[in-house]
Structure 1
């Protein structure tokens, strides 16, 4: 039986804290055993925005915070033999790999062996027939920004077995960042569904960073979390059967207990008996969560079934322009003035399409684009109100009208409005489909290319 593999996660999305990695790395070093550091930085919209950034600059398109994430820990990881696996390659894994090489040089480090995983990007002309077949009529007239398949763990494992110290991915399934190192370390068969499913759920617990450490769990007076400002990011100790124990760096803030683990275990799981991933269909129907001690929780009892025949693909496409405007009203009759401003804007922008009006602090989260919720909410006497107005339109010129009309409220009334802020940006839509697995070959290669 091989010794435990420890996998620490230092990011749960693009824009996460950049000081999380150092305590995780120190905890991994202190453990003295095989260890991997992962950064999960992708979401559906994140990848589309990365593709747009690459259109503007061919050298861009990877995680914007790459330097900030890696600079504090790169030297320590290379010296301690801690592998780094991440999807921060986004739309440009090769560009990310080159930037990491440059960063290592700037830090006076030796050149690391960096592998990139490719095959997820289906936005090229040669893949369009594949997408058209999968989307059917929904593909007609689509102005596509990105199309990416959710790859699994096999290419990550192959890269690590080939000697990669850093593996840079684009779109892989979030749990696969953990499954890949486990496959490489333990040498499991690719159809060892139970073990792969257990590693998948270990990756699922890690993938959102500090959520499992109490971040997304915290609710004052109901679910209190100590040290929320200095949350410790999670570490999974995975054994040779795939079972895991979730913990965090000693002395860090947050909490890991049966409650936080159960919440994260069920997070975004559509069917607990059949959680579909590219690597396996995981079944947590008989899973057991056991507290072993302070900030140490073991997950066991996960079962696995054969992986799906197809791979999920997200297609992001242009859907017009989103125009937004905000203005504040305060003091006596503030809410009434904000409601009147919304009525004025609805009248002046009539015919452009649905106009969403939110009274932040009164009706916003539970609002709706048709304005029904706002109309149903009895007028109150809130004395501090922020009005938000939003419009989506296919044409930029029409969307710009909202921006001008909100600004005009300064002098056109109602009285006392101030603090106007407006924004206009392209809006993206997402379509999902599945494609045959054998039509999306994943592969890895080293950057720079290694010669015999």
Structure 2
């Protein structure tokens, strides 16, 4: 039976690089996949591209490719990634430059575009979270990216691409694409696509399924987290799947880690919507078959949705923040007094604030004063954080200024002040008819 080996090189934009290098060098992979986009990630990338048309791709693309391309070329491993973010064409050009600098040509690169659907949105479309019309957003709307599926990735691989760079594609589709290509499956083979989507879902977050996000000391102990190994999926032409990792790497692959990842971000296990298929995970079986080897089976699928999900990036104003620390006897009382001073000062100014938070970090920052304050704890040190959302940057800066003024105008012994203002991008969702989205493949060669 034919089989492909797929390795997860990243589970988010800021992920470690060393486990991907380990996979490239020791994983005996057919495909190494880097999944690096979240909803806010691509909105921020679109914002960066507006400032510089040559930017907008993942900031670690150059470093990652330089680290893994030599081993991947030597092993014949092909790379699939969404590190193109808001600018797959610029990312592909940078990848070509890296390959030429390393002397690794010829390298065929395919850039997939078409996910940017800002110009194609229907102004009467309703935002899922708020019920607003898109036309009501005005100039707050920064970006709109549809979730592409596996077909253009499979097409690029069939066309000979050694490196496929996409923008916004659904996370599991990055793995379904190589599987479709490897076995020549039809794009409407729903049962097999359901199992392939399960494989992609298990691998897409990289270290989560090998024990990283799973770990909980004393309850779910995981060894070797400082050199956590990323997962490998062994996927057979019959739809069989084994999840494993490089022998000797840190972490663990177990039924429990796989079950947690299967449930991750799945609202309805019997109806998991992707651009490729409506997957059904409700009858999945998870069985250990050896050390760090787990067989996962039983997924199926039904016809894919008629519409594609679109992630919108919206300008939501600015957040101003200030922090100050207190330590020693009476630290909590002094921090609490500082909190009340700042609250009153901000009230006196009459500035418009949204979502004002005044937290004693380490005491009540997670669950609020009413719940956390009842514990009666008296820690040696505590840090006050005040933050709020405002309409403009100048107003946001006033919050940090009030915190800094506590150095000489507030309780004794405050120190370690920090202050910042940052722009806020909110995320909303709509759908768009599949027929309105047209993926395009652009070819480059190094």
Call closer, same or farther: CA 1:419–1:58 in 2, change over 3 Å: same
Alpha carbons 1:321, 1:427 under 8 Å: kept: yes
Call closer, same or farther: CA 1:403–1:139 in 2, change over 3 Å: farther
SS at match of 2:219: coil
The aligned residue for residue 344 of structure 1 is: 341
Listed as ranges, the gaps of 5+ residues in structure 1 are none
Asked whether 1:290 is paired with 2:290, we answer no
Listed as ranges, the gaps of 5+ residues in structure 2 are none
The aligned residue for residue 355 of structure 1 is: 356
Alpha carbons 1:335, 1:379 under 8 Å: kept: no
Q: CA deviation at 1:365?
A: 2.1
Length-normalised TM-score, structure 1: 0.93
The aligned residue for residue 318 of structure 1 is: 315
Q: CA deviation at 1:395?
A: 2.0
1:396 and 1:7 mapped to 2: Cα distance? 45
The aligned residue for residue 23 of structure 1 is: 22
Asked whether 1:13 is paired with 2:9, we answer no
Alpha carbons 1:197, 1:303 under 8 Å: kept: yes
SS at match of 1:10: strand
Alpha carbons 1:276, 1:282 under 8 Å: kept: yes
The correspondence for 1:92, drawn from 87, 91, 114, is 87
The aligned residue for residue 127 of structure 1 is: 120
Larger deviation: 135-144 or 404-413? 135-144
Asked whether 1:45 is paired with 2:37, we answer no
Cα deviation digits, residues 2-42 of structure 1 (max 9, x gap): x101100110001100112121112333xxxx710000000
1:26 and 1:132 mapped to 2: Cα distance? 51
Asked whether 1:77 is paired with 2:78, we answer no
Alpha carbons 2:44, 2:425 under 8 Å: kept: no
Asked whether 1:137 is paired with 2:133, we answer yes
Q: CA deviation at 1:205?
A: 0.6
Alpha carbons 2:123, 2:133 under 8 Å: kept: no
Q: CA deviation at 1:118?
A: 1.1
Matches within 5 A, 1:34-433: 35-123=30-118, 126-128=119-121, 130-135=122-127, 137-142=133-138, 143-350=140-347, 351=350, 352-353=352-353, 354-367=355-368, 377=374, 380-433=377-430
SS at match of 1:121: coil
1:313 and 1:251 mapped to 2: Cα distance? 41
1:304 and 1:188 mapped to 2: Cα distance? 14
SS at match of 2:432: strand
The correspondence for 1:444, drawn from 419, 441, 446, is 441
Alpha carbons 1:280, 1:306 under 8 Å: kept: yes
Alpha carbons 1:335, 1:380 under 8 Å: kept: no
1:212 and 1:406 mapped to 2: Cα distance? 42
Cα deviation digits, residues 174-219 of structure 1 (max 9, x gap): 0000000000001111111111111111001111010000000111
Cα deviation digits, residues 217-247 of structure 1 (max 9, x gap): 1111110101010011000000112221000
Q: CA deviation at 1:377?
A: 4.4
SS at match of 2:283: coil
1:414 and 1:139 mapped to 2: Cα distance? 49
Q: CA deviation at 1:131?
A: 5.0
Give the aligned length: 437
SS at match of 1:210: helix
Call closer, same or farther: CA 1:373–1:144 in 2, change over 3 Å: farther
Length-normalised TM-score, structure 2: 0.95
Call closer, same or farther: CA 1:134–1:78 in 2, change over 3 Å: farther
Larger deviation: 64-73 or 87-96? 64-73
What RMSD, in angstroms, separates the aligned Cα atoms of the two structures? Answer: 1.6
1:52 and 1:373 mapped to 2: Cα distance? 39
SS at match of 1:71: helix
Q: CA deviation at 1:77?
A: 1.2
Alpha carbons 1:94, 1:447 under 8 Å: kept: no
SS at match of 1:263: helix
Q: CA deviation at 1:79?
A: 2.7
2:411 and 2:375 mapped to 1: Cα distance? 20
SS at match of 1:329: strand
